[in-house]
């Protein structure tokens, strides 16, 4: 869910998101930092995760300062006990920098290309294929599709 969508009718959005959370579902705010919201909404909305917008990840590899916004979002998300997911990881240096920032999840073409639902079902119906992720206790990034042995 994007910040802009949340703000169109905040009271209604909060009620619907609380209902989803009541069902045990997580809620991620997509493209965090690119919408119109106030930071106070992070405390009001029952989100479980924020997704760092691709704009803050697709930066100049040589410019260490270009990572400051991503670093701030990761720090803020961790302080609020939210899962932080980096969007748009397309290069190895981005993945390494996110590891250094202690961002615990990532998605993007470098990790895996999108698949139609039918293809994803076919991949996971094959033996020795598993969706694996690490526990957020280490610097590893998660949400990686593995074609190796299933996680024990």
Q: Positive or negative CA dihedral for 144, 148, 150, 152? A: negative
pTM beyond cutoff 0.75: no
Q: Is 53 exposed, middle or buried (0-12, 13-18, 19+ CB in 10 A)?
A: buried
Largest CA distance in the chain: 47
User: What is the DSSP-derived secondary structure letter of residue 97?
Assistant: H
Half-sphere exposure of 50 toward its Cβ, with a 13 Å CA cutoff? Answer: 27
The two tokens of residue 119 are: 């293809």
Rounded to whole angstroms, the Cα distance separating 120 from 146 reads 12
| 43 pLDDT more than 90 | no
CATH number of 3-111: 3.20.20.450
- pLDDT tens digits for range 88-144: 999 999 999 999 999 989 999 888 888 788 887 887 787 765 554 433 334 444 444
The two tokens of residue 58 are: 């697709």
């Amino acid at each position: 869910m994007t910040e802009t969508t949340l703000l169109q009718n905040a009271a209604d959005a909060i009620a619907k998101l609380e209902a989803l959370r009541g069902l045990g579902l997580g809620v991620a705010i997509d493209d965090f930092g690119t919408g119109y919201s106030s930071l106070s909404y992070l405390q009001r909305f029952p989100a479980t995760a924020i997704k760092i917008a691709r704009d803050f990840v697709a930066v100049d590899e040589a410019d260490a300062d270009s990572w400051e916004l991503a670093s701030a979002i990761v720090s803020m998300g961790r302080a609020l006990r939210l899962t932080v997911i980096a969007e748009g990881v397309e290069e190895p240096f981005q993945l390494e920098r996110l590891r250094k920032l202690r961002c615990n999840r990532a998605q993007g073409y470098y990790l895996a290309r999108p698949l139609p639902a039918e293809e994803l079902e076919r991949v996971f119906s094959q033996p020795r294929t598993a969706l694996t992720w690490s526990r957020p206790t280490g610097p590893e990034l998660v949400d990686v599709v593995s074609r190796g042995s299933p996680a024990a």
